Amino acid sequence: MEVYTIDAKDKKLGRLASRLAVLLMGKNLRNYKKNIVSDVAVAVINASKMDVGIKKIETKKYSHFSGYPGGLRKESMGKVIKDKGNAELIRKAVRSMLPNNRLRSDMLKKLKISE
């Protein structure tokens, strides 16, 4: 198993997440197949030192719909940071950049984030 270590210090959230998604999918490998989870692991260090703008922290909203009437829940980025830390921001961003199929949960298990 190949392990990539990425330093998140002074990096923007979106650029970091897109790089992590490519590594988790294995698109940088010669033997890439989209129906197989690649044999790589990605570790992110210094997640708390990531560069996130103050305006984005105040205005960005994450939404989740339960499927029931009145079941739309919205949560601000600031609340996510306060409750769960910057690691959850990275996890949410990478999750949305991975393909929405049965392999996504297996790919996310190979992502380790440390504050």
Stated pTM of the model:
0.92
The two structure tokens encoding residue 113: 């984030």
Q: What percent of the chain has pLDDT over 90?
A: 98
* Residue at 66 is within a domain: no
Angle between helices 13-25 and 86-97 (to 10 degrees): 60
Rg (CA), the chain: 15
* Residue at 30 is within a domain: yes
Work out how many domains the chain is built from and give that number. Answer: 1
Q: What is the mean pLDDT of residues 66-91?
A: 97
CATH number at residue 104: 3.90.1180.10
Q: What percent of the chain has pLDDT over 70?
A: 100
Which structural domain, as residue segments, surrounds residue 24? Answer: 2-52+85-113
User: Which residues are registered as beta bridge partners of 3?
Assistant: 41
Query: DSSP state, 42?
Result: E
* Residue at 47 is within a domain: yes
* Residue at 6 is within a domain: yes
Contacts of residue 53, Cβ cutoff 8 Å, sequence gap at least 6: none
